[in-house]
A and B are shown apart, each in its own frame.
Chain A
Amino acid sequence: MKEPILEMRNITKKFGKVVANEDVNLTLNEGEIHALLGENGAGKSTLMNVLTGIYKPNSGAIYYKGNKVKIKSPRHAVDLGIGMVHQHFHLIPTLSAAENVFLYTPSCKRVLHKKEMEDAIENCSKEFHLDVDPSAKIWQMSVGEQQRVEIIKLLYRGADILILDEPSAVLTAQEAVEMFKNLRKMAESGKSVVVISHKMNEVMQFADRITVLKGGKVEDTMLAEEATVERLTKAVVGDREFVPQTNEGSAKKEQVVLEMKDVVVKNDKGLNALKNVSLNIHAGEIFGIAGVAGNGQKELAEVIAGLRKAEEGTIFLNGEDVTKLSVKERIRKKIAFIPEDRLTMGLVPGMTMDENRVLKQYNEQQFSKHGILKKKAISDAVDAEIERHEIKIVGKSAPVSLMSGGNQQKLIIAREISGEPTLLICAYPSRGLDMGAAEAVRQILLEQCKKGVAVLMISEELDELFQMSDRIGVLCDGEMMAILDSHETDYETVGRLMSGERYE
Chain B
Amino acid sequence: MNLIVAILSGAVVYAVSVLYAGIGETFTERSGVMNLGVEGIMLMGAMSGCVTAFHTRNLALAMLIVILTGAVLGLIFAFLTVTLQSDQTVCGMAMLILGTGLSGFLGEDIASKPINLKFTKIPLPVLSEIPIIGDILFNQNLLVYIMYLLLPLATFYIYKTRWGLKLRALGENPAVLDAAGENVFAMRYGYIVFGTTMMAISGAFVSLAQTNVWQEGMTAGKGWIAFALVAFSSWNPATLALGALLFGFISNLGSNLQIYLPGVPTEIFSAMPYVATIVVLIISTGNFRKKHTAEPAALAKAYDRESR
Contacts and interface: CB of A to CB of B under 8 A. Distances in A.
A139 to B, nearest CB: 6
Interface stretch (A90-98, A315-323, A348-356, A432-440): A90-98
A113 B173 CA distance: 23
Interface stretch (B137-145, B177-185, B197-205, B254-262): B177-185
A378 to B, nearest CB: 32
A99 interface: yes
Nearest to B178: A74
Interface of B is mostly: helix
A92 B176 contact: yes
Nearest to B159: A112
A57 B164 CA distance: 36
A108 interface: yes
A112 B292 contact: no
Contacts, number: 57
Contacts of A108: 162
A377 interface: no
Contact of B181 (A75, A93, A94): A75
A91 B160 contact: no
B180 A103 contact: yes
A102 B161 CA distance: 11
Contacts of B176: 90-92, 103
A104 interface: yes
Interface centre among A78, A90, A99 (most CB of B within 10 A): A90
B297 interface: yes
Interface string A305-334: 000000000000000000000000000000
Contact of B168 (A73, A75, A92, A139): A92
A139 B181 contact: no
Nearest to B156: A111
B165 A93 contact: no
Interface in B150-174: 160-166, 168-169, 172-173
Contact of A110 (B161, B169, B175, B294): B161
A110 B161 CA distance: 6
B289 interface: no
Interface in B283-308: 291-292, 294, 297
A269 interface: yes
Interface in A72-128: 73-75, 78, 90-95, 99, 102-104, 106, 108-112
Nearest to A79: B181
Interface residues of A, number: 22
Contacts of A90: 173, 175-176, 179
A111 B176 CA distance: 21
Interface in A45-73: 73
Contacts of A106: 180-181
A110 B292 contact: no
Given A93-B297, A111-B160, A104 B180 contact: yes
B292 A92 contact: no
B165 A112 contact: yes
A369 to B, nearest CB: 41
A94 B165 contact: no
Nearest to B175: A90
A126 to B, nearest CB: 24
A89 to B, nearest CB: 9
Nearest to B168: A95
Given A75-B180, A90-B179, A111-B161, A139 B169 contact: no
Contacts of A111: 160-162
Contacts of B294: 94
A109 B160 CA distance: 10
A94 B292 contact: yes
Contact of B160 (A102, A112, A269): A112
Contacts of B165: 95, 99, 102-103, 112
Contact of B169 (A73, A78, A103, A112): A103
Contact of B162 (A92, A95, A109, A139): A109
Contacts of A269: 291
Contacts of A102: 162, 165
Given A73-B181, A103-B180, A110 B162 contact: yes
Nearest to A75: B181
A112 B172 contact: no
Contacts of A103: 165-166, 169, 176-177, 180
A98 to B, nearest CB: 10
Nearest to A271: B291
- For the complex of A and B, 8 pairs with smallest distance between CB atoms: A75-B181, A92-B172, A90-B176, A92-B169, A104-B180, A110-B162, A92-B173, A103-B169
7 contacts: A92-B168, A92-B172, A94-B297, A109-B162, A110-B161, A111-B161, A112-B164
Given A103-B166, A108-B162, 13 more contacts: A73-B181, A78-B180, A90-B175, A90-B179, A95-B165, A102-B165, A103-B169, A103-B177, A106-B181, A111-B161, A112-B162, A112-B164, A112-B165
